[in-house]
Amino acid sequence: MDLTVSPSEAPPVALLAAVPEVHLISGREVCAKEGRVAFGSRDFLVFRELESLLAGKSCDVLIYASLAANPQPGLPKVTWKAKYVRVHNALPDGSPPKGVIRPLTAERNPRENKGWAVYWEVSDLEMLPKSEFIPISQLRGYSGKNYAKGFRPERPLIIQAL
């Protein structure tokens, strides 16, 4: 699975995030058309730390599709990938600033397009081939933390790069 830039340029971190499957599917279409798409989060401190670690570089994003219509049997797995581009602070009402491109499923749902602290932008959003799904228990937190076999992320987490 080719997720990365050359080792000399790659930061030692990646982002693990849970995103509702419906927004991933819609977001993939938007990303293919616009070159990027943004998801909302209340975890602004995670993104401040990530931005500090990246120092202007990009990193891989490994995505667990939450609220999936047909959940994968067995251990929770990363089934999508993307490249992290940047983070944008939300407007005072929690809505995205001008120019932030959201999945159409989020744009059309006011509850999904307000109330966030930040909007994190990705490019190259795609579903992994089934043969490349990654059990989350094989990933390690940036601090070295191991994830239990049944662990499902509910918020963005900084992890060690693969």
DSSP state of 89: E
Q: Is residue 105 part of a domain?
A: yes
Please check whether residue 141 is in contact with residue 77, taking contact to mean a CB–CB distance below 8 angstroms: no
What the block records as the tokens of 90 is: 């939300």
Question: For 95-130, what is each residue's pLDDT tens digit?
Answer: 999 999 999 999 888 788 788 999 999 999 999 999
| pTM of the full structure | 0.89
Q: Is pLDDT at 7 greater than 70 in this prediction?
A: no
Size (the chain), residues: 162
Name the residue with higher pLDDT: 112 or 135.
135
Q: Is residue 110 part of a domain?
A: yes
Q: Is residue 23 part of a domain?
A: yes
What residues make up the domain containing 59?
Answer: 13-160
The C-alpha angle with vertex 83 and arms to 78 and 130, in degrees rounded to 5, equals 30
Count of beta carbons in the 10 Å neighbourhood of residue 110 = 10
d(CA 10, CA 151): 26
Q: Is residue 4 part of a domain?
A: no
Please check whether residue 157 is in contact with residue 147, taking contact to mean a CB–CB distance below 8 angstroms: no
74: left (phi over 0), alpha (psi -120 to 50) or beta: left
Largest CA distance in the chain: 43
Number of domain units in the chain: 1
CATH code at position 47:
3.10.590
Q: Check residue 109 and give its pLDDT.
A: 84
Question: For 42-95, what is each residue's pLDDT tens digit?
Answer: 999 999 999 999 999 999 999 999 987 777 777 899 999 999 999 999 999 999
What the block records as the tokens of 1 is: 């699975």
Alpha helix (H) residue ranges in the chain:
21-34, 44-54, 104-107
